[in-house]
Chains A and B, each alone.
Chain A
Amino acid sequence: MEAYEILANPKNLKRRKIINIVMLTLSVVSGLVAIIPLIYILFYTTAAGISSLNLDFFTQLPKPVGEPGGGIANAIVGSVEIVGLGSAFGIPIGLMSGIYVSEFSKSFFANIVKFVTDVLSGIPSIIIGIFAYGVIVLQTKHFSALAGGFALGILMIPTVTRITEEMLKLVPISLREASLALGISRWKTTLKIVLRTASGGIITGMLLAIARAAGETAPLLFTSFGNSFWSESIDSPTASLPVQIFNYAISPYAEWHQKAWAGAFVLIALVFIISLIVRLITKNKFSQSV
């Protein structure tokens, strides 16, 4: 019985134990490795950004190189405007589709919708930018906040659909049954019982989608473009926070870099706070509904 001897060989056992320890250590180390750039980015951006944050940053227009002070108020307002337009377009579509996929999932068509939503979420954002350019900018012959909002809206759709679907599926079927058994119609059951029960999770999920959209740069480069001043309307070129950061970051001027760091810090803070809220709320949600 050679096999047993090999297995019982203490050397062999020792080797297995060493492999065990090495691999487990590697696993822990890789966890740390992934954290290092994260912490680095968070701290570096905070340190570099917070020093140039002041009231002017939020309230003043950009100043030309060489003049001290100034801010990126127009970019912040522009971002709010573009993201607002995007939300107005993307959230209803995403929400309703999520309801369809979750509540009427019996149908074959729901699976197609799910697949296509996955496809949409995999399309690089720059391509959505090209699309919005072709559909809006090319037709109206000028860059506009509207085109940027359209692009961001499309980008938000898959996230919102997915989150709505998942949150609605967390609502136990017994609640739907209870409501239907009272003679409440299906649509009222869905909107006033199911959606309301899942509303915490859905709202935070949407905040997350909005935060992501707020950080998108690529699709805005040639849709909403940029503007050094206040934009006149949603039909004209509009500055946005990420594009402004990009333009400042690739410029050769140190003072603009400072502004860019401050902008980056604002973006990260936004993402961080929203993720934290999402985390807290979904945690409560789970413990309550189970």
Chain B
Amino acid sequence: MKKSTGNNSENLKVIKSKNHISDIFFEKTTLFFAFLIICIVFWIIYEMFIDSAPSRDAFGWGFIFSQDWEPVKEQFGALTFIYGTVVSSIIALAIALPVSLGIAIFLSELAPQIIKTTLSFLIEILAAIPSIVFGFWGIFVLAPFMRNTAQPFLESTLGFLPFFTGTKIGFGLLTSGIILAIMIIPIISAISRDVLKTIPQAQREAAYALGATRWEAIKMALLNAKSGILGATVLGLGRAVGETMAVTMVIGNRAQIKISWFEPAYSMASVIANEFAEASGKIHLSSLIEVGLVLFAVTFVINSLARFLIYSTTKKLTVK
């Protein structure tokens, strides 16, 4: 026993309750299922590793830095897909972050109860709409809108930037960035709202008492919640990186790296979605699985970071 506070600590007899056999069996049963989850996750990692072995053997680390993707010549490199995923996700984040923050502030600090519940509900719905529907809507509504209205407008106003020039197809990095933004706004705003809610009301009252305006009080709460909000953002990023269908439908699916955001591109998830079922030959399939492995590694790092940030904020605040 660890306890040495008592004088006769050596003689302490610990009374341990005896559990009924059925209870022990029950706990072990639930434990078994919980353990299954862990097995499944390791199994997924193992499977990806094994199945991508031919590709990893053939291309090594060069796989990540090569732009070639030629199934006919059996030459594979993932750089174009990594580029497409990274850029579309960054665009998404740049759009989604300010909007989500605004929503979070509005929901946690400003809105009257009835609007709060309605808006929360609508955002929940937004989060639950299948991505195929977003993609479909992207093809028939957003892409034409981008081609005919948004892209000409952007070129005439921001055309001095290389991102906003080039052929206006409607399908490309910018369009998929916008679709992704719409899809990750619910998650970022919901978690930011929850984090903001954990900031004690007393802090805001203290700020008001010192003569702060409402915005200044909110700003203070935001500063306190910043790592939690960062965590929410990173979680949204993880979602954007892994999103498949909506991106596949609007990114244009062309394996190229172009500076313009109007240009079609390709993402890691979309190349898997498009080519996997018809992959020709072992090395092609294995390369696609290696793209999946890279995608998995990226989302794993992003999500772990996000969980850590959110956990550290809420923990710190609730302990206080």
**A residues touching B (Cβ–Cβ < 8 Å)?**
16-17, 19-20, 23-24, 26-31, 33-35, 37-38, 40-42, 44-45, 92-93, 96-97, 99-101, 103-104, 109-110, 112-113, 115-120, 122-131, 133-135, 154, 157, 161, 185-187, 190, 208, 211-212, 214-218, 221-222, 225, 242, 245-246, 249-250, 257, 260-261, 264, 267-268, 271-272, 275, 279
Contacts and interface: CB of A to CB of B under 8 A. Distances in A.
B245 interface: yes
B200 interface: no
Contact of A119 (B36, B50, B300): B300
Given A116-B38, A124-B244, A126-B292, A131 B213 contact: no
B129 interface: yes
Interface in B256-287: 269, 272-273, 276-277
B41 A271 contact: no
B136 A249 contact: yes
B114 interface: no
B134 interface: yes
A34 B272 contact: no
B133 A122 contact: no
Interface string B282-299: 000000110010011001
Contacts of B27: 100, 104, 186-187
Nearest to B130: A215
A104 B131 contact: no
A126 B37 contact: no
B34 A128 contact: no
Contacts of B23: 185-187
Given A30-B106, A97-B37, A122 B238 contact: yes
Contact of B19 (A27, A128, A186, A218): A186
Contacts of B33: 92-93, 96-97, 100
Contacts of B303: 118-119, 122
The secondary-structure label for the interface of chain B is helix
B135 A249 contact: yes
A221 B101 contact: no
Given A31-B107, A122-B299, 10 more contacts: A28-B102, A45-B133, A109-B31, A124-B295, A125-B244, A126-B242, A127-B296, A130-B51, A217-B245, A264-B133
Interface in B121-140: 121-126, 128-137, 139-140
Contact of B40 (A45, A154, A212, A249): A154
B132 A124 contact: no
Nearest to B135: A249
User: Would you list the 10 A-B pairs with minimal beta carbon distance, nearest first?
Assistant: A215-B130, A30-B102, A124-B242, A187-B26, A122-B303, A96-B33, A100-B30, A218-B244, A20-B213, A186-B23
A24 B110 contact: yes
22 contacts: A16-B213, A20-B215, A35-B119, A41-B129, A41-B133, A44-B137, A96-B30, A96-B33, A96-B34, A97-B34, A100-B27, A109-B31, A113-B38, A123-B44, A124-B299, A126-B242, A126-B244, A131-B44, A215-B132, A218-B269, A264-B132, A271-B130
Interface centre among B25, B48, B106, B186 (most CB of A within 10 A): B106
A268 B277 contact: no
A260 B135 CA distance: 12
A97 B295 contact: no
Interface centre among A97, A110, A112, A122 (most CB of B within 10 A): A122
B86 interface: no
Interface string B69-105: 0000000000000000000000000000011111101
B47 A131 contact: yes
A185 B22 contact: yes
Given A131-B48, A264-B136, A97 B30 contact: yes
A242 B319 CA distance: 45
A127 to B, nearest CB: 5
B128 A212 contact: yes
B276 A130 contact: yes
Interface string B161-195: 00000000000000000000010011001000000
A261 B41 CA distance: 36
Nearest to A119: B41
Interface centre among A44, A116, A214 (most CB of B within 10 A): A116
